[in-house]
Structure 1
Amino acid sequence: MTEAHPASRDFTIPEGCPVCAADLPVRVTASGPSGVCKHCGWLGRPVITVTHRGLSVSYEGARA
């Protein structure tokens, strides 16, 4: 029997690193999303929200 929802999904957010603006690989699991920048090493948990215009990505602690 196959799983209806896989245990994790991998995505890349173009220019998604809040430090160096490199592409940000993100893994989404049941415990939430996490990302590690392969360029500068930034490590964090992006906040992904569904809006009427698509997905909105923000970062806790990066807000002014």
Structure 2
Amino acid sequence: MTEVQQTTRDYKIPDGCPICSADLPVRVTASGPSAVCKHCGWFGRPVITVTHQGLRVSYEGGLAQA
């Protein structure tokens, strides 16, 4: 049986905000990652994937173009 770790972890992704390119704080909990940009207020649930080159951060649905 796989045990889920109940620890909350906080990270900062440099230039990670998809709207304003500010540093993006990300909190990872047992329910998954969530992020809120302190600069522009964007919030979402980034998708974090482990690759052979490290972590890849993406955003489901992409960005709507105005």
- TM category, shorter: 0.7 to 0.9
Identity of aligned residues (%): 75
What is the TM-score with the length of structure 2 in the denominator?
A: 0.84
RMSD: 1.5
In structure 1, the gaps of 5 or more residues are none
Shift of 1:32: 0.1
Structure 2 spans left out of the alignment, 5+ residues? none
* Deviation digits for residues 32-63 of structure 1 (CA, Å, limit 9, x no counterpart): 00000000000000000000000000001216
Alignment of 1:1-64 (within 5 A): 5=5, 7-62=7-62
TM-score normalised by structure 1 residue count: 0.87
- Structure 2 residue identity aligned to 1:11: Y
Which has a greater percent of strand?
1
Q: Supply the distance in 2 between the matched residues of 1:51 and 1:62 (Cα, whole angstroms).
A: 20
Any idea what the Cα deviations from partners look like across 1:15-38, whole Å, max 9, x if unmatched?
A: 000000000000000000000000
- Could you list the runs of 4 or more consecutive aligned residues of structure 1 that deviate by over 3 angstroms after TM superposition? none
Give the paired residue count.
60
